[in-house]
Amino acid sequence: MTAQTLSASPAPAQTPTPRGGGKVSGGLLDPGQLLRSLPDAVRKLDPRTLWRNPVMLIVEVGAVWTTMLAIARPSWFGWLITVWLWLTVIFANLAEAVAEGRGKAQADSLRRAKTDVTARRLVGWTAGQAEARAERVGAPELRQGDIVVVDAGEIIPGDGDVVEGIASVDESAITGESAPVIRESGGDRSAVTGGTKVLSDRIIVKITQKPGQSFIDRMIALVEGSSRQKTPNEIALNILLAALTIIFLLATATLQPLAIYAKAGNPGVPDSPALDAHGVSGIVLVSLLVCLIPTTIGALLSAIGIAGMDRMVQRNVLAMSGRAVEAAGDVNTLLLDKTGTITLGNRQAAEFVPLDGVTEAALASAAQLSSLADETPEGRSVVVFAKQSYGLRERTPGELTHAMWVPFSAQTRMSGVDLDESGDGRPGRSLRKGAAGAVADWVREQGGPVPPRLSEIVDGISASGGTPLVVGETVDGSARVLGVIHLKDVVKQGMRERFDEMRAMGIRTVMITGDNPLTAKAIADEAGVDDYLAEAKPEDKLALIKKEQQGGRLVAMTGDGTNDAPALAQADVGVAMNTGTSAAKEAGNMVDLDSDPTKLIEIVQIGKQLLITRGALTTFSIANDVAKYFAIIPALFVGLFPGLDTLNVMRLSSPQSAILSAVVFNALIIVALIPLALRGVRYRPSSASKLLSRNLAVYGLGGIVTPFIGIKLIDLFIQFLPGMS
């Protein structure tokens, strides 16, 4: 299909996208979003839902217990504590509900992309068959292996592979990009997605999906969080939090007999809402337990995992599981394809090397003229390079009226022009540009010499990984070689810096290419990758991945073809291109909807950010407890042991105010950290030791200092409430 055909195609209508744009991705601090998620947070109070989060389940059980105690012995202090304990559970559920709400908004936009379509299923179709009987069936009735035909203007009824034909397809419902894409049979761009629209021509599609398991169906389930499973790291952290909760539960329980014994030995100490003849009141014990167990990270843990997958969706990457996102954060080795990932993919003119007796300007002018009839990317790059580097004005074939153009062909391997500058119908000057052997033979046929230095220049360019093109001319029957054009597979701008960032993270980068070792080494050195695999075949990729994994390393790679499927399945993070084959998309555990191979670097950074966010908030949550010791422990026992008053460094107004202030802070800090859990901690590429030091300095120290300030400010406000004196 030509570019003219594509540009003439009607622009597809914009549809809602799963990227997280607009209302989906914004509003991390939007109160409206919190209010919309509040009903879901209340519904999550159901113990059948909350049991998956043992820390918050303990808090809910404590809230139920304090409610019963407050009813039995009503007091302002008891009811305030009870209300804030319930708010603690609701705020914890709110964090997860907000994260899930963002996914539901994305899922709703995907559902709008699903339409009930009728498919034309071909009966008895075989490849190359001109006609086959078509029957109308509903899209849900299609089964794997069915053959359907789709004409221009029709919706593709299901996921599949193009087995015949070529067409431009509007995939804006999936990728959010309005530009149409080409889908054709027999290549790595044969996969089509149900719900997308054919804009031109006709294609025959073989259905590869199972009923109810289309690509959009899976996307909806994933972004809603319904199929999000806890990752090993998340499970391990949950076990740690449960263990800490049990330890603090036992520690809190031992305070009761200690208080009873101490009170019996000091009968002159007056009773208080916190401590009476029966020991520590149940409401205070629950308050102490809730403040000491790691409620902050327990409340935010699920939201952090959901937000990690959400950030992938915002970047148009569909992660098939939370495990894949987490694995991306632990990747040690990145396998990157050269063409289109590290390099631009098209060789471009980078240098003109003239032979003796020829100036660079003369060679540039001849190279430009001889390339005007060359419509290949390489030919166009010669024209642009000559114009930009040598100040030559832009010329077009139409300007030269007495010229016979010789377009490039695979047979001649040359392009050029014959100029009739005298106007007598006989070419006075001829120019040719092309492969070294083809142009050298043409010069010899015209009776001209081929200097020995030409082979030295050609061999030098080839050894450096470049491609040499030779320019020759004849003037009035005299032929000669003018010089050589150096074509390079240009490395994308900024790639060396990005690989330096990967190296700073401790990630090894390996370039994979089908080029010869000389070319591969030249590109690898220029790009700054750590290693390369030249002349790579599918089995070589698979062997390299297995070798890396045997050393205990996690491997990530991208691919789009059927021959990439084994390696994608073997890799710990396999990113399949959406433009690729169904086999590649089934083998990988992520799909890049933009089909941008460099996205793999962003995926690794998102995974790192997920792990760092989880670690940072865990550090903050555990450090939080320090200030609460200084608030609640003196409040409980200062009457029995006056010396404990020295621990009241915040100078809280009363024991009741100290306990309530700690409980209120414990609830409010969860809401305050929801935006950070959803957005993620800012990630800067550095070593693990530096990241740990930064976490301890910022979130460890911050987790200690913040509660001292927060609890004191809350105490200043609530000391005037009834029952706080």
Contacts for 43-49 with beta carbons within 8 Å, 24 or more apart?
44/93, 44/96, 44/97, 45/89, 45/90, 45/93
**199 Cβ neighbours under 8 A, 6+ residues apart:** 9, 10, 12, 152, 153, 167, 168, 169, 170, 180
Active centre residues (catalytic): 337
CA pair distance 450, 112, nearest whole angstrom:
67
Q: Does the annotation flag 411 for ligand binding?
A: yes
Q: Mark out the alpha helices in 9-140 (DSSP H runs).
A: 31-43, 47-50, 54-72, 76-113
For residue 511 the two structure tokens come to 């370039």
Q: Does the annotation flag 650 for ligand binding?
A: no
Q: Does the annotation flag 30 for ligand binding?
A: no
Q: Does the annotation flag 560 for ligand binding?
A: yes
Residues paired with 557 in a beta bridge: 335, 574
Q: Does the annotation flag 393 for ligand binding?
A: no
Helix (H) or strand (E) holding 133: strand 133-138
CA pair distance 407, 370, nearest whole angstrom:
9
**227 Cβ neighbours under 8 A, 6+ residues apart:** 221, 321
Q: Does the annotation flag 621 for ligand binding?
A: no
At residue 614, the 3 state secondary structure works out as helix
CA pair distance 527, 490, nearest whole angstrom:
10
**Residue 77: closest CA among 290, 274, 286, 292:** 274
Q: Does the annotation flag 175 for ligand binding?
A: no
Q: Does the annotation flag 409 for ligand binding?
A: yes
Q: Does the annotation flag 540 for ligand binding?
A: no
Calculate the alpha carbon distances from 417 to 377, 474, 502 in Å. 18, 11, 48
Q: Does the annotation flag 415 for ligand binding?
A: yes
Q: Does the annotation flag 572 for ligand binding?
A: no
Q: Does the annotation flag 378 for ligand binding?
A: yes
Q: Give buried/exposed letters for 404-437 (b at 16+ CB in 10 A, else e).
A: eebebeeeeebbbbbbbeeeeeebbbbbbbbbbe
CA pair distance 457, 124, nearest whole angstrom:
60
CA pair distance 202, 663, nearest whole angstrom:
66
Q: Does the annotation flag 91 for ligand binding?
A: no
The binding site for ATP consists of: 374, 378, 408-415, 433
The binding site for Mg(2+) consists of: 560, 564
The binding site consists of: 374, 378, 408-415, 433, 560, 564
